[in-house]
Amino acid sequence: MLDPRNWRDPVIYEDGSGQRCKVVSTEQACDILISSWPVSYGMELLRAREIFLDVMSGSRPIAEARAAFVRAAQEADLDICAASRKG
């Protein structure tokens, strides 16, 4: 059975080196933003961090974290694969 904390649809993006990365949960997305995000600034990045905390505390739906991650990735000029843009 799938972990209910996982995103319904993963986000697949291409990092700066051309490697494809698959993100399946808010916790994983949070770790990526902290440890390997290509930029350290941006309104969408800050907003995503706030939303992730709210989602992990249960005060927002999981889908909001996924959407925030996509917006932060677009702001960082990362290539989001077409199938994972919905959200």
Confidence of residue 81 (pLDDT cuts 50, 70, 90): confident
H or E element, residue 21: strand 20-25
Query: Domain range for residue 52?
Result: 6-84
32 occurs within a structural domain: yes
64 occurs within a structural domain: yes
24 occurs within a structural domain: yes
63 occurs within a structural domain: yes
Q: Cα(29)–Cα(44) distance, rounded to whole angstroms?
A: 13
Q: Cα(65)–Cα(29) distance, rounded to whole angstroms?
A: 8
The residue behind tokens 């919905």 is 86
* Reported pTM: 0.89
Give the number of domains in the chain. Answer: 1
Confidence of residue 35 (pLDDT cuts 50, 70, 90): very high
59 occurs within a structural domain: yes
1 occurs within a structural domain: no
Output the six-digit token pair for 21.
Answer: 């990365």
| CA-based end-to-end distance of the chain | 22
